[in-house]
Amino acid sequence: MSKAKILVTGGAGYIGSHVVAQLLEAGEEVVVLDNLSTGFREAVLGGELIIGDVGDTELVSNLLRQYPIDTVMHFAARTIVPESVSDPLRYYATNTGATRNLLACCARADIRHIVFSSTAAVYGVPQGGHACEETPTNPINPYGTSKLMSEWMLRDLAASCAMRYVALRYFNVAGCDGRGRIGQSTAKATLLMKVAAEAAIGVRPHVAIYGTDYPTADGTGVRDYIHVDDLAAAHLAALAYLRDGGASAVLNAGYGHGYSVREVLSAMSRAHGQSIPVLEQDRRAGDPPELIARCARIRDTLGWIPRLDDLDLIARSALAWEKRLAARRAS
């Protein structure tokens, strides 16, 4: 009997590629489906790469017939919040519509396990700045709404059949693979740690701080930053949990504490050995002063223990990756 394989959609992207790397190291057999619109062929370190769209039902159905797949890990999505505001229908088509098509294919193929890449953006602006899984969902942009709608589809599909799922609501993902093989390569990225690393090496002229008058210790917004390798490990823990018969679950993926924008920039300055140019600007509409995960459930449910909860380590890894990208561009 053939060994079960895992289909990873969006496995050439930032987070997906880190999960693929860890799956391969764990001895799993992986098939990656990615259209390479925002992902990179070289980020897929093994397995089989299929170029195509997750919303292509004929292609996905053929893959699910061709390979002995027991689990789908679904990362394929667009993730830039400002872009979702300016082009909402693209996000509903790519994130929600394509997920609906994928789930239909999974249901027909009797796929039993799905691990879904969700987001803390489903919470919007939670009262008090902290969010547990029971915190009311109230997204304030189409990106968050498109992901929440996908969660609803998963919930309702799982209630109608034997499929079980884990949806991981990511907080702020940062850093790169500890061995320096892959990292955040997306052009025009908006993740603060990535932007700070680009400013450190001169790819960007400065880092913008949006709002310095929040009711926080230093006046700047506070977020929960999680190292991408720890986040990837949570996906492998979710896989083991589902294969062991675990019930469907929605889980926050964060560390449970936050750092301000200024603290992140200070960490990057320490990694770089000198200060980073900063431009202070007005608040952006809808940005909460503070957004931190209540994350006891993921640890209790999956037995997940983060290993890289260190802001300076995250900053050093992000900067090291940015320097590698710059060297590649120069060669």
| 130 and 245 assigned to the same domain | yes
Q: Which residues contact 330 (CB under 8 A, 6 or more apart)?
A: none
State the DSSP H helix or E strand holding residue 210, giving kind and residue range, or none if neither. Answer: strand 207-210
| Lookup: tokens for 140 | 């304030």
pLDDT of residue 183: 95
At 250, phi and psi to the nearest 5? Answer: -115, 125
Judgement on whether residues 91 and 212 belong to the same structural domain of the protein: no
Together in a domain, 144 and 21? yes
Of 253, 271, 300, the residue that ends a domain is 253
Residue 183 lies in a domain: no
Report d(CA 67, CA 2) in Å as an integer: 9
Q: Return d(Cα 13, Cα 77) in angstroms, integer.
A: 9
Name the residue range of residue 285's domain: 192-223+256-330
pLDDT score, position 239:
98
**Strand partners of residue 169:** 118, 252
DSSP 134: T
Same domain, 273 and 206: yes
Contact 252, 120 (CB under 8 A): yes
Catalytic residue set: 143
Cβ–Cβ under 8 Å, residues 171 and 252: yes
Q: Is residue 233 part of a domain?
A: yes
Longest C-alpha distance within the chain, in Å?
A: 62
Residue 4 DSSP code: P
CATH number at residue 17: 3.40.50.720
Chain position carrying tokens 């202070």 = 280
Task: Return phi, psi of residue 228, to 5°.
Answer: -60, -30
Helix (H, G, I), strand (E, B) or coil at 177: coil
Per the confidence metrics, is the pTM higher than 0.85?
Answer: yes
Co-location of 50 and 198 in the same domain: no
CA 207, distance to chain mean position in Å, is 22
Q: Are residues 246 and 277 in the same domain?
A: no
What's the pLDDT score for residue 2? 64
Q: How many domains does the chain have?
A: 2
157 with 205, same domain: the answer is no
Does 236 share its domain with 114?
Answer: yes
Domain with residue 214: its CATH number is 3.90.25.10
pLDDT in tens, 26-51: 999 999 999 999 999 999 999 999 99
Place of tokens 């909460």: 288
Structure tokens at 118: 């969700």
In a domain, 185, yes or no: no
Contact 217, 262 (CB under 8 A): no
80 and 112, same domain (yes or no): yes
Evaluate whether residue 199 is within a structural domain.
yes
Taking 70 as the pLDDT cut, the residues of the chain under it are: 1-2, 286
Instruction: Give the helix ranges, DSSP H, for 132-281.
Output: 142-160, 192-200, 228-243, 261-272
Looking at residue 190, its pLDDT comes to 85
SS3 of 130, please?
strand
Residue pointed to by tokens 């942009």: 141
Query: 146 and 62 share a domain?
Result: yes
Q: Are residues 242 and 283 in the same domain?
A: no
- The answer to the question of residue 181 being in a domain is no
* Domain-located, residue 158: yes
Partner residues linked to 253 by β-bridges? 170
Residues 151 and 31 in one domain: yes
For tokens 């190292």, the residue is 227
Task: Judge whether 150 and 220 are in contact, CB under 8 Å.
Answer: no
Residue 26 lies in a domain: yes
182 assigned to some structural domain:
no
Amino acid at position 157, single letter: L
